[in-house]
Amino acid sequence: MLATPPTPVLPEPARRPTAVAVSLAGAALGVLAVRYAGVEGPSWFDVSVEGPIRDTAAPVRSQLRTFVRLGSPPQVVLMTILLGAVGFVARRPRLALVVLAGPPVTGLVTTTLQPLIGRTLEGGFALPSGHAGGATSVAIAAALVVVNLVPKRARTVVAAIAAVGVLAVWSAITVALVANGLHYASDTVASLCAAVVVVLGIPLAVDHLAGRFRTGPSSPV
C-alpha cells in the first residue's frame, strides 16, 4: 500500500500570490539595504513616523519594553518549538518542519545583514531589526499553522484575518522599539520584508521541490 504524500503547506491557489508577496518583499528589502547602507541617524521617513509614535506611546513606554522581549531569541525559540509541535501533533510533518525553520532562518538573515548593510543606531547595527524580525516571523509561522488546520472552506477568510494579525504584531513591536529608542521605523520595515521572504519563501520552495520530486522524469512508454 502506497504511503500518502505529505500535504503541501501552501495549496495551489495560494502559491502565485504568495510568490508575488515574497518577490515584492525581497525587492523592498534590497531597496532598503541600498538606501540605508552605512547610514547613521534617522531618515525623513523615520522622523515623520517616530514623532507621532513616541508622543502617543509615551505614557506606556516602559510597559512596551515587555512586549519587545517577545522578539528576543529565547522567546522566539520557545514559540517556534510550540508551533512545530502543533504541526507534528496534527500529523502535518511538512508544516511542522517549515514552521520550525522559518523564525531561526529569519534570525540568521537579520543577524547576517546587519553588519553587511552597516546602518547604525548609537554605534550598533540596526537594519533589519532582529527583535522585529523574530516576532514577525513567529506571527507568520503561526498564521501558516492556523490556515493549514482550519477547514478548507474557511481558509480564505482565515488567511485574511491572519494577515491582519501578522501586521498587528509587526506594528505593535515597531511601536515598542521606536518608542523606546531601540530602532528606527525603517529598521522594522526591513524586518517585515525579511520575515516575509524567509517564512513564506521556505514553504514555496519546499512544496515546489517536493512536487518535482514526486513527479520525477517522464517514464518511457
Task: Enter the DSSP assignment of 3.
Answer: P
**Cis preceding-peptide flag for 93 (omega within 30 of 0):** no
Which position has the higher pLDDT, 35 or 208?
35
* Residue 155: how many other CB atoms lie within 10 Å: 18
pLDDT at 213 over 70: no
* CA trace torsion 171, 148, 71, 173 (10° rounding): 10
Within its chain, how far is the Cα of 101 from the centroid?
11
User: What is the grid cell recorded at 105?
Assistant: 532562518
Question: What is the pLDDT at residue 3?
Answer: 47
How many Å from the N-terminal Cα to the C-terminal Cα in the chain? 24
pLDDT at 5 over 70: no
User: What is the grid cell recorded at 111?
Assistant: 543577524
Q: Please tell me the total number of residues recorded for the chain in this structure.
A: 221
Question: What is the pLDDT at residue 107?
Answer: 95
Mean pLDDT of the chain: 89
